[in-house]
Chain A
Amino acid sequence: MTLDYLLKRLGFFVLVVWAAATLIFLLPRLASERNPILERMGRTAAAAGVISEGLDEMVKEWEAKFGLDQPLWRQYLYYLRDMLHLDFGYSLAYYPAKVLDQVTRALPWTIGLFGMATLISFVLGSFGGALLAWPKAPRFLQYFLPLFLTLSAVPYYLLGLVLLFLFAFTTRIFPLSGGYSVAVVPSLSFPFILDILRHSVLPGLAMVLAGVGFWALQMRGMMVLGLEEDYITFAEAKGLGGKRIFFRYALRNVLLPQVTSFALSLGMAISGAILVEVVFGYPGLGTLLLKAVSGFDYNLINGVVFIIIIIIAVATLLVDLLYPWLDPRITYRRGMR
């Protein structure tokens, strides 16, 4: 991997994050002339049962404080500066909590659950799909494909609802919601980790079941083409064992495009994961986002969404940087090819 490739890839990363930040700054302002501060104050005043007379002055004061009386381009620059420092301000609904603190508390849950589930479904699906195209694989595998393909068409969270009903509500094998039991004190002990795992099984399973079919179908298609390559025939002619041909010759080469689409699919996958968390009340970013939305907490919404975008951009970057390591042909040197 050369500096050239690294710089190019980092440039794209910066471009994506900048575009995302600009979009979430600009789109709401294009869509409406809404004044969140006025609304927020109006709601607070109404909740207190007082129609405050000084509301307008207060709004002006706050607007000056947040720089909302400045021209749009200056607001945009301030906004970019804050995003660069990951400074999302205070939570409006849970004042004086800071948005960043809330987000960092939810972050490990989402990364753990989403990361594990997508990895497991990618590995299982790719391996299963490769076996489907392999002539010596057991036949019974063929019967699973239609089932998993159907599941892959269905959004994660619907599967989550069904799993919740079957294994938590009806049979009570797994807990109904949350990330850990209420009675347990969070600590780095073995029972607590076991408790976390027990709570993650169903949401994770929902994502894995829905993900496997997609990867299997794609992998099978590429494997069918890959097995027709001359180097496979050559390997067979050399008298290499089936296992060696499968792993070293066939699988490794078709894995590359699969990894590319893995990087591309992450954005879609996290949208599903957010909703799975909502269904299971899992204490990650998805549930936090729901709380922010229902509390009209604009700062918190902004913060959660921006962090989700960063996670996906970083994950895509990491997968892309893995690419040269996976593919011995690519050295990313200028002028090669």
Chain B
Amino acid sequence: MNALRKRLWGAVAYGRRNPKLLSGVGLILALVLFWSIGSLLVSPTRAEPLAGLPSQSPSWQYLLGTDSHGRDLLAVIMVGTGFTLRIGLSAGAIGLGIGMILGFLSGYYGGLLDTVIKGAADVLLTLPLLAVLVVVVAMMPGVISLNVMILVVASLSWMLPTRAIRAQVLTMRERAYIQVARLSGMNNLEVIVKELMPNLLPYLAACFVGATAGAVLASIGLEALGLGPQHLPTLGMTIYWAISYAAMLRGMWWWWAPPAVIIALLFVGLFLLTAGLDEIANPRLRRGM
């Protein structure tokens, strides 16, 4: 118990020295709370069409008004925050997973494998990925489900983690402690898992946040073009409906502004997290700030 308290205090003390990390974590936690508490207080069915009167401006009955289909927008952004977080985190995790496997393979073993993996990542990184994803999703049969969305977005979010991890592994591979581990009889897998991974933790965390941000950006971008889960009120789909029903021209600011604010908060939170993690991973940055 005492040890736990000490660790907690240690974390808080570090947070005060790294305000970016602290505020990033705070923002993301606030969004998670908004979603979880929100879904306790407001029934998710209120986010479905015909849950209320259509096109109502904000009032005591509908705190954020309703859209042209009668969805209660407060419920929509609460439920939508959850969906968007889920897409981002799952796709980010898959992207990091693929990136770790490829990055370790490429950096640790080198050779032809390295050339192929690095080449593929480099080529894909210069492509406008949103455009490629548009083709894939547009050809999907039927209604797109949340899981399909996650897989599609994850399929192209592994390149940055791969490159970052590969670069780190390359610098670590020849260090003395790795040599010692190898000489003491560890096999390659053990070296990777027991020696390399723990040293890479801050990088892996930064990669995860980066991949998540990329996945959210891609998924919301696709959704804003109408290429998302059409029957789910994700944040991006809400923007799409608002644009295609000319919410702006009709003065229905409560339709597009709340999802836009939540998306903006999410991105600022992820950005602060990345900056904060960078400071842990690159101590050199600490001086200048």
Contact = CB atoms under 8 A, between A and B. Distances in A.
Interface of A: 12, 15-16, 19-20, 23-24, 27-28, 31-34, 36, 149-150, 152-155, 157-158, 161-162, 164-165, 169, 176, 221, 224, 264, 266-268, 270-272, 274-275, 278-279, 289-290, 293-294, 296, 298, 301-302, 304-305, 308-309, 312-313, 316
Contacts of A271: 128-131, 217-218, 221
8 contacts: A153-B264, A161-B257, A161-B260, A221-B288, A267-B129, A270-B128, A298-B139, A301-B138
Interface string B135-148: 11011110000000
Given A267-B128, A274-B130, A157 B248 contact: no
Contacts of B134: 289, 293, 301, 305
B75 interface: no
A294 B270 CA distance: 31
Contacts of A12: 123
Contacts of B124: 19
A133 B209 CA distance: 28
Given A16-B126, A27-B135, A309-B131, A155 B288 contact: no
A260 B132 CA distance: 23
Interface stretch (B8-16, B77-85, B107-115, B222-230): B222-230
A117 to B, nearest CB: 15
Interface residues of B, number: 42
A27 B132 contact: yes
What secondary structure prevails in chain B residues at the interface with A?
Answer: helix
Pick the most buried of B131, B135, B217, B218: most chain A CB atoms within 10 A of its CB. Answer: B131
Given A34-B139, A161-B257, A279-B243, 13 more contacts: A24-B136, A149-B271, A150-B268, A155-B217, A158-B264, A267-B126, A267-B127, A267-B129, A278-B225, A298-B139, A302-B135, A309-B127, A313-B126
A301 B135 contact: yes
B135 A275 contact: no
Contacts of A290: 225-226
Contacts of A176: 248-249
B123 A293 contact: no
Interface of B: 123-132, 134-136, 138-141, 152, 217-218, 220-221, 224-227, 239, 243, 248-249, 251, 253, 256-257, 260, 263-264, 267-268, 270-271, 288
A169 B248 contact: yes
A155 B270 contact: no
Nearest to B263: A158
Contact of B270 (A23, A153, A296, A304): A153
A158 to B, nearest CB: 5
Nearest to A308: B131
Contacts of A316: 126
Nearest to A267: B128
Contacts of A224: 288
A267 B126 CA distance: 6
A301 B222 CA distance: 13
A152 B264 CA distance: 10
Contact of A169 (B132, B217, B251, B264): B251
A164 B164 CA distance: 38
A28 B134 CA distance: 10
A165 B256 CA distance: 10
A255 B177 CA distance: 38
A272 B224 CA distance: 11
Given A298-B139, A305-B132, A154 B268 contact: yes
4 shortest interchain CB distances as A-B pairs = A28-B139, A271-B130, A153-B271, A305-B131
Given A301-B135, A302-B135, A155 B263 contact: yes
Pick the most buried of A34, A169, A176, A305: most chain B CB atoms within 10 A of its CB. Answer: A305
Contact of A15 (B123, B129, B224, B243): B123
B269 to A, nearest CB: 9
A93 B284 CA distance: 56
Contacts of B123: 12, 15-16, 19
B150 to A, nearest CB: 14
Contacts of A304: 131
Nearest to B227: A293
Contact of B132 (A24, A150, A266): A24
Contact of B125 (A34, A267, A270, A275): A267
B220 A155 contact: yes
Contact of A312 (B128, B225, B267): B128
A164 B268 CA distance: 21
Contact of B243 (A154, A278, A302): A278
Nearest to A316: B126
A274 B226 CA distance: 13
Contacts of A305: 131-132, 134-135
Contacts of B251: 169
B136 to A, nearest CB: 5
B139 A36 contact: yes
Contacts of B129: 267-268, 271
B128 A264 contact: no
B225 A158 contact: no
B224 A278 contact: yes
Given A224-B288, A267-B127, A34 B140 contact: yes
